[in-house]
């Protein structure tokens, strides 16, 4: 599966952005989808994941209550709605696909998009 992330940009603290990740192929619904992020000088970290049907989600503590992951299998797209953004949310955000739900490690995700930059100004 090929992934294409979009929707990043510059936003003020407290603002919102919605990221999208479009997937190619007809097997999108067979993958768990996740979002990761990598801030400058830091390691890539898990943000959120959603199950195959979308009925289960999982979040990093740092974004819980502010970010919402969702998917539309008919459109082969996964979303990340980010509200109440903070300067520490500044990072390149990556979408990724896995066959296993509940995993937060990079190695658990076999396919990756190219990343989209989110910059939150204070």
Q: Mind listing the pLDDT tens digit for each residue in 33-54?
A: 999 999 999 999 999 999 999 9
Contacts of 117 (CB under 8 A, 6+ apart): 8, 9, 91, 92, 93
**Distance between CA atoms of 100 and 115, rounded to whole angstroms?**
21
Whether residue 48 contacts residue 58, with contact meaning beta carbons closer than 8 Å, is answered with yes
Of the chain, the percentage scoring pLDDT greater than 70 comes to 100
pLDDT of the chain along its 122 residues, tens only? Answer: 999 999 999 999 999 999 999 999 779 999 999 999 999 999 999 999 999 999 999 999 999 999 999 999 999 999 999 999 999 999 999 999 999 988 899 999 999 999 999 999 99
Best CA proximity match to 50, nearest among 95, 2, 113, 114: 95
């Amino acid at each position: 599966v090929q992934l294409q992330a979009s929707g990043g940009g510059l936003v003020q603290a407290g603002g919102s952005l919605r990221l999208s990740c479009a997937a190619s192929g007809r097997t999108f619904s067979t993958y768990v989808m996740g979002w990761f992020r990598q801030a400058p000088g830091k390691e890539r970290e898990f943000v959120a994941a959603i199950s195959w049907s979308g009925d289960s989600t999982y979040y990093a503590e740092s974004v819980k209550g502010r970010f919402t992951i969702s998917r539309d299998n008919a459109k082969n797209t996964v979303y990340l709605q980010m509200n109440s953004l903070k300067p520490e949310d500044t990072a390149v955000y990556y979408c990724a696909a896995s066959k296993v739900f509940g995993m937060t490690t990079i190695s658990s995700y076999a396919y990756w998009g190219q990343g989209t930059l989110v910059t939150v100004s204070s």
